[in-house]
Amino acid sequence: MTFSIVGQVGDAFGVAVASKFPFVGAVVPEVRPGVGAVATQAMARVAYRSVALDALAGGAAAEGAVAACTTPDPDRAHRQLGVVGLDSQATYTGESCLDWAGGVCGRDATGGYAIQGNILTGPDVVSEMEAAWLASAGQSLTDRLIAALLAGDAAGGDSRGRQGAALYAVQPGAGYDHCGVLADLRVDDHEDAPQELARLLRMNDLIFGGPEDVSPLEGELADEVAVRLSSLGYSGETSSALTSWASEANYEMRMTPDGIDGKVLQALRDATPDA
């Protein structure tokens, strides 16, 4: 009833998942900084999350973490599991999972990945997810996870339809107050949950990302920014007006004394199409 990808880019780990099951984010993913990530699905066993991560933390490879979950479980034939550790990855599909069910795992220059799904429209869901993950090398972990998830959805995804999706990713020092959370997003009841998750990720990156593609606030750009801010009711010295608008819009983490962040500039342009 679900398809997911567990992925790693350097010291960042995460899981993206989509399903006809509405509250999939509460069940499937778990990530532990510096240790790895896991997705439990099909007839999911939530306890697999801590068992797998504890096994990784104790020095087991991903295959060993899978074995720690499945070997003592009499219902393992109905389970599906993906695990990625610091230097290993594994995917498991029990023989009684509903068709189509299967998975693939591998490793590229940035880290490992495990992709799995059940009650899918076909094996191309998994293969297209893998292709999208590999094609997005060089991008951030969250962008790669969402690219893979959307590719699986475009290939057919869950054969019963779309309703829930989630993305959970961590990296030391990232996120709000450097708490280590890159993204913690859920879509629990939406007719196009994967696309809504992608929209929320774009918003997440805008609000929680640091300055990038910064342009000096001078010349024609400064004039443009002043006009656009004035149309929104923010006047006075341009940098002060920008700070006031950005604070109200929750873009404080992207503010910099060196100029204007590229995504903040685009957000300002989107908010003032007639300016």
Per-domain residue ranges for the chain? 2-208, 219-271
Choose among 188, 247, 242: nearest CA to 216.
242
Find the largest Cα–Cα distance for the chain: 69
Question: For all residues of the chain together, what is the average pLDDT?
Answer: 96
User: Would you say residue 5 has pLDDT above 80?
Assistant: yes
Phi/psi-derived region of residue 39, left when phi > 0, alpha when psi is between -120 and 50, beta in every other case = beta
pTM of the model: 0.92
Q: Residue 189 contacts by C-beta under 8 Å, 6 or more apart in sequence? A: 22, 163, 164
pLDDT tens digits for range 9-36: 999 999 999 999 999 999 999 999 999 9
111 contact partners, CB below 8 Å, separation of at least 6: 7, 8, 9, 10, 84
Rounded Cα distance between 200 and 87, Å, is: 30
pLDDT (tens digit per residue) in 185-230: 999 999 999 999 999 999 999 999 999 999 999 999 999 999 999 9
Q: What is d(CA 263, CA 59) in angstroms, rounded to the nearest whole number?
A: 41
Band of pLDDT at residue 177, cut at 50, 70 and 90: confident
Tell me which CATH homologous superfamily contains domain 2-208: Aminohydrolase, N-terminal nucleophile (Ntn) domain (3.60.20.10)
183 pLDDT band (50/70/90 cuts)? very high
Q: Which of 6, 25, 14 is nearest to 182 (CA)?
A: 14
